[in-house]
Amino acid sequence: MNVIMFGPPGAGKGTQAKLLQEKRKLPQLSTGDMLRAAIAAGTPLGKQVESILAKGDLVSDEIVVGIIGDRYDQPDCKNGAVFDGFPRTIAQAEALDKMLAARGRKIDVVIELKVDDTILLDRVKQRIAEGSARPDDNPETLKNRLDVYYRNTAPLLDYYKKQGKLTTLDGMAPIADVTAAIAQVLAKA
């Protein structure tokens, strides 16, 4: 099964994708984590994208489509994967559909976690207070990440709705409730 976790920055996609990875053995494919790992390792790719992530802008479609394609061909994705933070543009979604079709696969379900902007800002402030904030977790960069989300990524909701794959869940509910709601959706998919 191939699942996309969808939602604005801080919606809880990563948290839920990790839980799915543990429970259903579907690897979490997070482009954000992969890019941060490249930055931490100081690879040429990491050097190329570091300032883009710091600003909260989007890395090129070519780069993220490339790293997702390589990752998806690893043996642990033989039963599918959970895509987290990818796709983020229509071009990425089309590339993903093509990549999966070439392997006789498809996206089965897209789960949107809906969270109000004010709550997202509160969550970032909490990460800062706890000392667990990333370099791009500050109120100014979050504003840009949200703008980028609404401009480039939110239009994908319609793309997946038209394919009949979209389910929207309340991302402001307690973590365990969101996990249970996701399990119900996947049981029917």
Binding site for ligand ADP (CB under 6 A): 9-10, 31-32, 35, 52-53, 56-59, 64, 85-86, 88, 92, 136, 145
Least separation in angstroms between CB 30 and ligand ADP = 6
Cα–Cα distance measured from residue 181 to residue 12, given in angstroms and rounded to the nearest whole number: 13
Of 152 and 187, which CB lies nearer to ligand ADP in the complex structure?
A: 152
- Integer Cα distance of 65 and 39 in angstroms: 17
Q: Which is nearer to ligand ADP, 126 or 184 (CB)?
A: 126
Spatial distance between the Cα atoms of 4 and 85, rounded to a whole number of angstroms: 8
At closest approach, how far in Å is the CB of 131 from ligand ADP? 17
Helices (H), the chain: 13-24, 31-41, 44-55, 61-72, 90-102, 117-130, 139-148, 156-162, 175-188
Of all residues in the shown chain, the one whose CB is closest to ligand ADP is 32
| Structure tokens, 167 | 């389910």
Shorter beta-carbon distance to ligand ADP: residue 27 or 56: 56
Distance CA(148)–CA(150), nearest Å, equals: 6
Q: How far is the CB of 129 from ligand ADP (least distance, A)?
A: 17
Q: How far is the CB of 92 from ligand ADP (least distance, A)?
A: 6
Distance, in Å, from the CA atom of 139 to the CA atom of 137, rounded to the nearest integer, reads 7
Q: Min. distance of Cβ 61 from ligand ADP in angstroms?
A: 7
Angle between helices 13-24 and 175-188 (to 10 degrees): 60
State which residue, 68 or 109, has the beta carbon closest to ligand ADP: 68
Please, what is the minimum distance in Å from the beta carbon of residue 187 to ligand ADP?
Answer: 26
Q: Which is nearer to ligand ADP, 57 or 97 (CB)?
A: 57
d(CA 62, CA 102): 18
By beta-carbon proximity to ligand ADP, the closer residue of 120 and 186 is: 120
